[in-house]
Structure 1
Amino acid sequence: MQFEHLNPKKHDRKSFDCGLEALNLYLQRGTNQDQRRSLTRIYVLAEEQQLIGYYSISAHSVSRDNLPSEIKLASYRDVPFLLLGRLAVDKAFQGQGYGDALIFHAFKTTMEAAEKIGILGMVVDAKNENAASFYEGFGFKRLKGSRNRLILPLSIMAALVKD
C-alpha cells in the first residue's frame, strides 16, 4: 500500500464506493479534468490498482473576517490556505484508520508546501456533520458564517505531525 498521485490509467476509479455519491462521482468523472487544468492534485492510497482512499488538495484563500477570533491579521483581507477539497475512503476499508492516514498525508503535503510558499494552514468543506466532527477531532475550527467550513492553522498541524 502506498500514497501516490492518481493515475487514471493505473487506478480503478469505477469500483470505488465511499458511500457518498458526490465523492464517488468526483473521483470517477471530475479528477482528470481538474488535474489536467492544474486546479487540484489528487493523492490516493492504493494497493496496485485498487483505491483505498483519496483526497484532493489545491490553493485557496479565506477572508480574514471569517477567521476564528484568536487569529488576528489586520493587514490582510484574504489569507492563503490549502484546501482539502475532498477526502474519502472506500466502504470496504472504512473504520480501519485509513481516513487518519489520508489526512496525515495531507498535513505533510501542506507542511511541505508551507516551506516553499506562504500559507496559514488548511481549510476544508465538510460534506456533512459527521465529516465536520471527524475534522474537529484533529483540531479544525469552524469558520464564522459557515456551517461546515473549517480551518486548521499550521501551528496545530505541525504539533499533530510531530507526535
Structure 2
Amino acid sequence: MKFERLDPGKHQRKAFDCGVTELNLYLQQFANQDQKRGLTRVYVLAEQQQIIGYYSLCAHSVPTDQLPDNTRLGKYSDAPFLLLGRLAVDQHYQGQGYGDALIFHAFSITAETAEKIGALGMIVDAKDEKAACFYQKFGFKPLSGSKNRLMLPFSAMKTLL
C-alpha cells in the first residue's frame, strides 16, 4: 500500500465507492481532467490498482477579512493557502484510520509546498457536520461567516507532523 499521484492508466477508479455519490463521480470522471489542466493534484492511497482513498490539493486564496483576528495580515486583501478539495475513503476501508493517513499525507505535501512557495496553511470545505468534526479533531477552525469552511495554519500543521 502506498501513496502516489492518481494514474488513470493504473488505478481502478470505477470500483471506488466511498458512499458519497459526488466524491465517487469526481474521482471517476473529473479528477484526471482537472490534473491534466493543472487545476489540482489528486493523490491516492492504493494497493496495486485498487484505490483505498484519495484527496485533492490545489492553490487557493482566502480574503483576509475571513481569517481569525490573530492571522490578519494588514494591507493584504487575500492570503495564500492550499485547498484540500476532496478527501474520501472507500467504504470497505472506512473506520480503519485511512482517513487520518490521507490527511497526514496532505499535511506533508502542504508543509513541503509552504516551505518552497509560501502559504499560510490549508483550507477545507467540509461537506457536512460529520466531515467538519473530522477536520476539527486535527485543529481546523471555522473561517468567519462559514461553519463548514475551515482552516489550519501551517504553524499548527507543523506541530502535528
Deviation at 1:146, TM superposition (A): 1.2
Deviation by residue 1:73-126 (Cα, 9 ceiling, x = unmatched): 112100000000000000000000000000000000000001110100000001
- Provide the residue aligned with 2:5 in structure 1: 5
The ranges of structure 1 where at least 4 consecutive aligned residues each deviate by more than 6 angstroms after the TM superposition are: none
SS of residue paired to 2:52: strand
Partner residue, 1:28: 28
1:64 maps to 64
One-letter code aligned to 2:113: A
- Give me the whole-angstrom Cα distance separating, in 2, the residues matched to 1:147 and 1:156: 20
Report the AA paired with residue 154 of structure 1: F
* Counterpart position of 2:157: 157
Question: Structure 1 residue 147: deviation in Å?
Answer: 2.5
Deviation at 1:62, TM superposition (A): 0.4
Quick one: which amino acid aligns to residue 119 of structure 1?
A
Task: Tell me the distance in 2 between the aligned counterparts of 1:72 and 1:147.
Answer: 19
**TM-score, reference length from structure 2:** 0.99
Amino acid at match of 1:41: R
1:71 deviates by 1.3
1:17 aligns with 2:17: yes
Task: Give the 3-state SS of the residue equivalent to 2:71 in structure 1.
Answer: coil
In the alignment, what sits opposite 1:136? 136
1:18-39 C-alpha deviation (Å, 9 max, x unpaired) = 0110000000011111000000
Relative to structure 2, which stretch is displaced further, 48-57 or 145-154? Answer: 145-154
Conserved 8 A contact 2:65-2:72: no
Query: Take 1:73 and 1:20, find their aligned partners in 2: how far apart are those partners?
Result: 37
My pick for the range that moved more, 70-79 or 12-21, is 70-79
Counterpart AA for 2:150 = L
Paired positions, count: 161
- Aligned partner of 2:101 in structure 1 is 101
> 5+ unaligned residues in a row in structure 1: which ranges?
none
* 1:116 partner amino acid: K
Flag structure 2 segments of 5+ consecutive residues without an equivalent: none
In structure 1, the residue corresponding to 2:69 is in which secondary structure? coil
1:72 Cα deviation after fit: 2.2
What secondary structure, in the 3-state scheme, does the structure 1 residue paired with 2:14 have? coil
- Cα distance, 1:53 vs. partner? 0.1
**Distance in 2 of aligned mates of 1:8 and 1:72:** 41
Q: Could you tell me the percent identity over the aligned residues?
A: 67
Could you tell me the TM-score, scaled by structure 1's length?
0.97
Partner of 1:48 in structure 2?
48
Q: Which amino acid aligns with 1:18?
A: C
